[in-house]
A and B are shown apart, each in its own frame.
Chain A
Amino acid sequence: MSVSAEQVRHIANLARLAMSEEEIQRLVPELNNILGWVEQLAEVNTDGIEPLATVVEQKLRLREDTVTDGNCRDEVLANAPVAEHGFFAVPKVIE
């Protein structure tokens, strides 16, 4: 499989990365190179093999359903590029 400029543009949009046409053109051969190389995995027989989900076996824990933090609004907002009225502010999304 090889990716086209159009696919790269689509992936960049999915990944929310603004890209110039020049960057797209540069990425096409780079990504094809890397994808061509990882495709050697196709030659490995993986019939009947479960995909690995956890590398070290362990049980998923449950914690008590209690409040463990809170009252830290200002700390949470301290690093926000734009915060207004105690909220994160974003460009208008509703007309």
Chain B
Amino acid sequence: MSEITSLTIAELQKGIRSGEFSAREVAESYNAAVAAARALNAYAVETPDDALACAEAADNARAAGEDLAPLAGIPLGIKDLFATRGVDTTAGSRILKDFKPPYESTVTANLRKAGAGMLGKLNMDEFAMGSSNETSAYGPVVSPWRRNNGSNAAITPGGSSGGSAAAVAARIAPGVTGTDTGGSIRQPAAFTGITGIKPTYGRCSRWGIVSFASSLDQAGPMARTVRDCAILMETMAGFDPKDSTSLDLPVPKWEAELSSNLKGKRVGVPKEYRIDGVPAEINALWDRGLDWLRDAGAEPVEISLPHTKYALPTYYIIAPAEASSNLARYDGVRYGLRVEGEGSLNAMYAATRAEGFGAEVKRRIMIGTYVLSAGFYDAYFTKAQKVRALIKRDFAHAFQQCDVILTPTAPSAAFGIGETTDPLAMYLNDVFAVPASLAGLPAISVPGGLDGQGLPLGLHLIGNELDEQTVLNAGLAIEERAAFTARPERWW
């Protein structure tokens, strides 16, 4: 038997069912791995007892001859943006320090109902605003990866789901939840050599997920393989009357329908994604990805998404606008931090928020407040909503000519912690990820290879609305051909 923490979720399911190992052994292996990896700062909270209790339930069910729930005995890491009953949920912010929700998010409740346990809560950029995990009030997550030049420089796992990505890459969780507002699942997946998918907006309920930008926020799984992502997403997704934007549709059998045969499928290559300043290695991987999909039977077609260059500026109006509104709830009254200020109610609000929020969150609240303020609303916010409509229309036209779109996930490999200090330069990380978010489309990042520094690079597939299956299938075709087996050498 190979080491338990090297197994995929599909292999763990099989091993627990066949009795090759017990769920308890799985939980204990992971609990030990989590405790030994604190140098990564991936977990904000560890919940080993939760993982053990779920394992015991799974082992007892098996001993009693009962049918096991789909994720029985599988311990998962949960991004700290998901409310977990009685367990600290801070969203990476000081303003929610020690906040213990009296309720459970729908997505994590779905996972629990399916038998999954929880290893802990995963560190993240504050309120999911960041691409490097450096905005977390609890310190940045350190990627398990290092450059191959002998340097010990700390590398970022990306963000905002950086703790989630690092945990899967370091084998301290077999699978995790992430959330993606403008690339927060896909960019960290690419930076750490793992797989992560954001489904169509509305597939996963947002109820109980700390809100950032409600018209964009979407939960999704991150794991080592496409199959594992399909398994997790089937459980996470589903209609929820408590979220008014939840899609009232049955959840497809994504795992059972997985097939890497892409005969008859057309792969769109958007010419606008060839941008200046992207390393040649990334464009070479993009070409290789196209060859792999061709080998799987797909036919490449050149497509045009003319408003691509406007996606990031559109996003940086809409997301901060929605954030400034959503984050108005942190007022020091109902939960979280409270700083008294100079006596008045307004002074208490302002002092609480000044101390509770970090610099990036404040910057975005300021931008959002500005673009929504009297006199500027139409010039910024309404204009951005119109351009967003054009971006969505670009994709609708493209999907008349193709079934799935292939691009790189990010314009660079992971960078060092502290190396990117200009906010605008940081925003450019999501240049390839943001358009699909604005259009609400499903998109996956799968590992494609390593760059010259020995750091992972990802390939990005965008599908048509509700067509997660084609995204998963094309991802599987790449996974089989890229044969990405590299893993970070353990230094922690």
On B, residues with C-beta under 8 Å from A are 99-102, 200-202, 215-216, 241, 244-245, 247-248, 307, 310, 313-314, 316-317, 324, 328, 331-338, 340-341, 343-351, 353-354, 357, 362-363, 365-367, 369-370, 373, 376, 379-380, 382-390, 392, 423-424, 438-440, 465
Determine whether the beta carbon of B100 is less than 8 Å from that of A44: no
Most buried by B among A19, A37, A52, A75: A52
Q: How far in angstroms is the closest Cβ of chain B from A71?
A: 13
Determine whether the beta carbon of B392 is less than 8 Å from that of A17: no
Q: How far in angstroms is the closest Cβ of chain A from B356?
A: 10
Contact (A46, B363) CB under 8 Å given A56-B440, A81-B336, A90-B345: no
Write out, one digit per residue, whether chain A residues 37-74 have a CB within 8 A of any chain B CB (1) or not (0): 11111101010011111111010110100000000100
- The docked-state distance in angstroms from the alpha carbon of A57 to that of B223 is 30
Q: How far in angstroms is the closest Cβ of chain A from B88?
A: 11
Q: Known pairs A17-B354, A31-B367. 7 more at Cβ < 8 A?
A: A1-B379, A14-B373, A17-B366, A18-B353, A19-B354, A37-B424, A79-B336
- The docked-state distance in angstroms from the alpha carbon of A61 to that of B248 is 10
Which residues of chain A from 70 to 87 have a CB within 8 Å of any chain B CB?
A: 72, 75-76, 78-82
B residues less than 8 Å from A55 (CB atoms): 201, 215-216, 388, 392, 438-440
Write out, one digit per residue, whether chain A residues 13-37 have a CB within 8 A of any chain B CB (1) or not (0): 1111111000000010011011101
Determine whether the beta carbon of A16 is less than 8 Å from that of B386: no
Q: What are 25 A-B pairs with beta-carbon distances under 8 A?
A: A15-B324, A15-B353, A16-B353, A17-B350, A17-B365, A18-B351, A19-B354, A31-B363, A38-B317, A40-B313, A42-B383, A44-B387, A44-B390, A51-B382, A51-B388, A52-B388, A52-B389, A54-B245, A58-B202, A61-B248, A79-B335, A81-B336, A91-B340, A91-B347, A93-B344
B residues less than 8 Å from A63 (CB atoms): 241
Determine whether the beta carbon of B317 is less than 8 Å from that of A41: yes
Determine whether the beta carbon of B241 is less than 8 Å from that of A51: no
- The docked-state distance in angstroms from the alpha carbon of A46 to that of B362 is 30
Q: How far in angstroms is the closest Cβ of chain B from A38?
A: 4
A residues less than 8 Å from B385 (CB atoms): 51-53
A residues less than 8 Å from B307 (CB atoms): 44
Sort A-B residue pairs by CB-CB distance and give the 4 closest, nearest first: A51-B385, A55-B440, A81-B338, A79-B335
B residues less than 8 Å from A51 (CB atoms): 382, 385-386, 388-389
- The docked-state distance in angstroms from the alpha carbon of A13 to that of B424 is 24
Q: How far in angstroms is the closest Cβ of chain B from A52?
A: 4
Partner of B392, one of A42, A52, A88: A52
A residues less than 8 Å from B215 (CB atoms): 54-55
Determine whether the beta carbon of A91 is less than 8 Å from that of B344: yes
On A, residues with C-beta under 8 Å from B are 1, 3, 7-8, 11-19, 27, 30-31, 33-35, 37-42, 44, 46, 49-56, 58, 60-61, 63, 72, 75-76, 78-82, 88, 90-91, 93
A residues less than 8 Å from B334 (CB atoms): 76, 79-80, 88
A residues less than 8 Å from B365 (CB atoms): 15, 17
Q: How far in angstroms is the closest Cβ of chain A from B392?
A: 6
Q: Which chain B residue lies CB-closest to A40?
A: B313
Determine whether the beta carbon of B363 is less than 8 Å from that of A88: no
Contact (A44, B310) CB under 8 Å given A16-B350, A17-B350, A81-B336: yes
Q: How far in angstroms is the closest Cβ of chain B from A35?
A: 7
Most buried by B among A51, A55, A61: A55
B residues less than 8 Å from A58 (CB atoms): 202, 245, 247-248
Q: How far in angstroms is the closest Cβ of chain B from A50?
A: 6
B residues less than 8 Å from A37 (CB atoms): 313, 316, 424
A residues less than 8 Å from B367 (CB atoms): 31, 34-35
Most buried by B among A15, A49, A56, A60: A15
Q: How far in angstroms is the closest Cβ of chain A from B241?
A: 7
- The docked-state distance in angstroms from the alpha carbon of A49 to that of B393 is 11
- The docked-state distance in angstroms from the alpha carbon of A88 to that of B348 is 14
Q: How far in angstroms is the closest Cβ of chain A from B243?
A: 10
Determine whether the beta carbon of A27 is less than 8 Å from that of B363: yes
B residues less than 8 Å from A12 (CB atoms): 366
Q: How far in angstroms is the closest Cβ of chain A from B135?
A: 15
Determine whether the beta carbon of A56 is less than 8 Å from that of B202: yes
B residues less than 8 Å from A44 (CB atoms): 307, 310, 383, 386-387, 390
Contact (A18, B390) CB under 8 Å given A34-B316, A37-B424, A41-B317: no
Determine whether the beta carbon of A61 is less than 8 Å from that of B370: no
Determine whether the beta carbon of B247 is less than 8 Å from that of A61: no
Q: Which chain B residue lies CB-closest to A51?
A: B385
- The docked-state distance in angstroms from the alpha carbon of A38 to that of B328 is 23
Determine whether the beta carbon of A14 is less than 8 Å from that of B201: no
Determine whether the beta carbon of A17 is less than 8 Å from that of B357: yes
Contact (A41, B313) CB under 8 Å given A52-B392, A56-B200: yes
Determine whether the beta carbon of B363 is less than 8 Å from that of A30: yes
Q: How far in angstroms is the closest Cβ of chain A from B199?
A: 11
Determine whether the beta carbon of A61 is less than 8 Å from that of B314: no
A residues less than 8 Å from B338 (CB atoms): 81-82
- The docked-state distance in angstroms from the alpha carbon of A38 to that of B350 is 27
Determine whether the beta carbon of A91 is less than 8 Å from that of B387: no
Determine whether the beta carbon of A90 is less than 8 Å from that of B348: yes
Determine whether the beta carbon of A50 is less than 8 Å from that of B389: yes
